[in-house]
Structure 1
Amino acid sequence: MFGPGSQFHRFFNDPRWALAVVRATVLEAAHPQIGAALVDNSSFVVHPWRRLRNTLVSLQRMFGADEDVRRREAARLNRLHTRFSGTDAKNRPYDAMDPEVRAWVVATLFESSVTMCRLSGQPLDQTAMERLYAEFRAFLAALGDQAGHLPPTVPEFWQYYDRMVAEELQNTEALRIILYRLFEHLPAPPLFAGLPTLWATGRALAGPVIGTITVASLPEVFRRRAGLPEVPGAQTLMQSAYLAARMARALPDNWLQTENVISLLSLSPDGDGPWAETLTTLRARTKQAGALIRLITPVPAQQGPADHSGASENRRGARAFFTEVLDQTGDGYLDWPDLAAMARELCSRLDLDEPQETRLYDAFAAWWRELQAALDSDGDGRVSAEEYAAAAPSLAGPALIRVAEVLFEATDANGDQFIDAEEYRTLFRRGFGRSVLDAEGRHSRSAFVRDFLSFMSGRERSTPYDPLLSDA
């Protein structure tokens, strides 16, 4: 069921699967419970590339050949999903551990994989389809859910799927965000950081196309119920996209390996990994292209008089830090889901076990209570950008110091009270910067805590810590 010989493993490195995953994500978001959990807790709008990378790594672990790795990842996913529960805007409860909800997530991945084959002109035969379905049911079982939440046979699955599409799925806020906001306002991945003009130009062309292709691939009965627009020529465009993805399978194997995609999503302008030299060359060439685009792009007129006072500069810096780092969910406010997203990302990077993971979450929860008490001036239970900017210089309290200490202890895997090069790379996904090293080439506890406090309190905007929570 798992490992290199599985049907899923073959699809995992198939370029068509990128379209299938986007489609499956939209179908998941159309489920009321999943859509509510995404809107309330997920950082996918502000940090979609980070979310994609973490999802791919998780799927690699779950469908790999190592049973111990799969068991550990399943436990991590269950702990993560346990934290996603609440009520939506209509006061309806949602719970990411609901077995019916989890079954629907797996169902969308299976159905979208089957659909990608059909739309690209290579439909799966019955044997391959049944094998793939058995693998996805085994995946659900590996998470600890009873197999009965997905029908036992493929024919019964299609009855279940048709019923869900016709009766359960809705035009949720999360679905609208993905289709009409995320695709058209997708932030640049780390690879294209610093090239806003070039990225914006490509996104303006590709974003609407991806949205149109995705909508056209959804079940017709759902498109009608949800009131999704029928764009002329969309079906032809969709089929062309799937056929092009099928033809891309002829590219060299090393271009198609998902492992390489994950590496690209982890690259940064100041990285020192094996791809660093290639990235430097690529960025130099794309900067030239970006300069050419800027020459032919009108510069928008500034609105209002410029204010060069020091207070204004500090306020703009605080607002930028609020948007880029603190507001992880992108709703314009700082509240517990934002800090939970930070804790979730750091736990994922460090692959923490339950005790350390809980300690880090608890430290972030204490920091949120401290922030709320200090900054929530209107008592609405959240912190606005204005409230943050007004008090930004005074944020490094005891709770934030505790966050820094717990994070240091989690990163210091060997317990020698220093962060060495390997531990640093695990947390930051890049090598040491010269400014953080001591005389012995290590990062001390006091230096880590000091630098983390300076970063998280917004005192310094250009530090090695910037990519820790601000990468898209």
Structure 2
Amino acid sequence: MTAVHDESVATTSAEADERAADRLINHRDTDIELIPPDSLTAQLVGLYTFLPINGAAFVMQVMHPVIGDVVDKFSVFRKDPVGRAIRSADSVLRWTYGGQEAIEEGKRLRRLHQPLQMRNAEGKHISALNPEAYAWVIATAFPTMTTAAPLMLGREFSEEERKELLRDNRRIAKILQVPMKGYPETLEEFDEYFDDFIENKLVRHPVAVELIEQMRTAPPVPKTVPKPLRPALRKVAATASVPFQNFNYLTTVGVMDPRVREILGLGWTDEEQRHLEKIHARLRVAYRTLPERLTYFPLAYHARRHNDAIQAMKRREKKSAAYKYASR
């Protein structure tokens, strides 16, 4: 028997990889809406104080068994917690302020997570791109932002603001190439969706517990530091990091739904609540007096200034015309 080589169907491995990557993409560029630069989302996400709020979302994410198991096996959060946090913040900022780069970042993340597959303790094949789990990662931002409103703004969000935040949350889900089937569209649907996860799907995953404990532990000394200096640096880090650790822990745990804290076995006292509120009250005062350059991440700051400049140009356009027409 003679083998026939058909040039019309032959593909290179690179073409096959490209085709496989394309199958991961759920939304065309033209179907994706970017986050409006003057939105409430853009006002809040770029603040430095948003980091621990995002941390609360991350803890809730790994309470989903699939995400917790995948993170446990593949994440570098143990060896490089600071680096992981920085890279996560970089990605979140690009979704919100990156313009076209937001869309490319969404595709990159989808492809990055594709190889993260394994068998769990029960022998079941699981994947980081499990539709339910992948959608939950983005959904967690909405309840944490809603609960954090009194801390960041000094008041609750209005119903219209919550609707706007949910619209933006859905925009980010599409940017991240989340399959949108079953993703909540209304506040009522989201409440049902969130309740279902808490009551039926979230668990006290060891990774979630470890992340909480990590918040109260001084960051590891980099291996680049000479060995003789490491003991002294550990002592300095243990002392210097205490205020930030307390702030991070209180904000992370404080913005969680009480039912989530209960699943994790975390207590929460009135004293802790008062302490958290006092810290953020001082921060709100500081934020009203400090220039935005000191309160926003650089990408967020420049994106907001860019939008301000564009809006100023539009206002000038309304006041004058480029040409004068003779009256008839």
- TM norm structure 2: 0.70
Between the two structures, name the one with larger relative contact order (CA 8 Å, sep ≥ 6): 2
Q: Is the 8 A contact 1:254 1:260 kept in 2?
A: no
| C-alpha distance 201-89 of structure 1, shift in aligned 2 (>3 A) | farther
Q: Secondary structure of the equivalent of 2:140?
A: helix
**Counterpart amino acid of 2:40?**
Q
Q: Secondary structure of the equivalent of 1:175?
A: helix
Quote the Cα distance in structure 2 between the aligned partners of 1:165 and 1:244: 33
Quote the Cα distance in structure 2 between the aligned partners of 1:95 and 1:226: 24
Q: Secondary structure of the equivalent of 1:2?
A: coil
Among residues 88, 107, 110, which one is paired with 2:120 in the alignment?
Answer: 88
Quote the Cα distance in structure 2 between the aligned partners of 1:83 and 1:11: 33
Counterpart check, 1:258 vs 2:291: no
Q: Is the 8 A contact 2:46 2:296 kept in 1?
A: yes
Q: Is the 8 A contact 2:144 2:255 kept in 1?
A: no
Give the corresponding residue for 2:18. none
**Counterpart amino acid of 1:254?**
R
Give the corresponding residue for 1:59. 92
Q: Is the 8 A contact 1:88 1:94 kept in 2?
A: yes
Give the corresponding residue for 2:29. none
Among residues 22, 34, 39, which one is paired with 1:6 in the alignment?
Answer: 39
Counterpart check, 1:76 vs 2:108: yes
Q: What's the offset of the Cα at 1:253?
A: 1.2
Q: What's the offset of the Cα at 1:19?
A: 2.7
Among residues 165, 172, 176, which one is paired with 1:139 in the alignment?
Answer: 172
Identical positions, percent: 22
Give the corresponding residue for 2:282. 244
Q: Secondary structure of the equivalent of 2:126?
A: strand
| C-alpha distance 126-187 of structure 1, shift in aligned 2 (>3 A) | same
CA deviations 1:195-216 (Å, max 9, x no partner) are 4432221234543563344334
Quote the Cα distance in structure 1 between the aligned partners of 2:112 and 2:88: 13
| C-alpha distance 107-243 of structure 1, shift in aligned 2 (>3 A) | farther
Q: What's the offset of the Cα at 1:10?
A: 1.0
Give the corresponding residue for 2:184. 151
Give the corresponding residue for 1:452. none
**Counterpart amino acid of 1:73?**
E
Give the corresponding residue for 2:207. 174
Give the corresponding residue for 1:198. 236
Give the corresponding residue for 1:217. 255
Quote the Cα distance in structure 2 between the aligned partners of 1:38 and 1:100: 16
Counterpart check, 1:114 vs 2:146: yes
Quote the Cα distance in structure 1 between the aligned partners of 2:299 and 2:220: 20
Counterpart check, 1:103 vs 2:135: yes
Q: Is the 8 A contact 1:214 1:238 kept in 2?
A: no
CA deviations 1:434-465 (Å, max 9, x no partner) are xxxxxxxxxxxxxxxxxxxxxxxxxxxxxxxx
| C-alpha distance 245-85 of structure 1, shift in aligned 2 (>3 A) | farther
Q: Secondary structure of the equivalent of 1:147?
A: coil
Q: Extract unaligned runs of 5+ from structure 2.
A: 1-33, 302-328
**TM alignment of 1:9-408, pairs within 5 A:** 9-64=42-97, 66-67=99-100, 69-120=101-152, 121-187=154-220, 195-204=233-242, 206-207=244-245, 210-230=248-268, 233-250=271-288, 251-259=290-298
- TM norm structure 1: 0.50
Quote the Cα distance in structure 1 between the aligned partners of 2:254 and 2:158: 24
Q: Is the 8 A contact 2:74 2:116 kept in 1?
A: yes
Q: What's the offset of the Cα at 1:182?
A: 4.4
Instruction: Provide the alpha-carbon RMSD of the alignment.
Output: 2.8
| C-alpha distance 94-187 of structure 1, shift in aligned 2 (>3 A) | same
Quote the Cα distance in structure 1 between the aligned partners of 2:254 and 2:95: 30
Q: Secondary structure of the equivalent of 1:148?
A: coil
Q: Is the 8 A contact 1:213 1:234 kept in 2?
A: no
Quote the Cα distance in structure 2 between the aligned partners of 1:93 and 1:242: 43
CA deviations 1:264-314 (Å, max 9, x no partner) are xxxxxxxxxxxxxxxxxxxxxxxxxxxxxxxxxxxxxxxxxxxxxxxxxxx
Q: Is the 8 A contact 2:148 2:255 kept in 1?
A: no
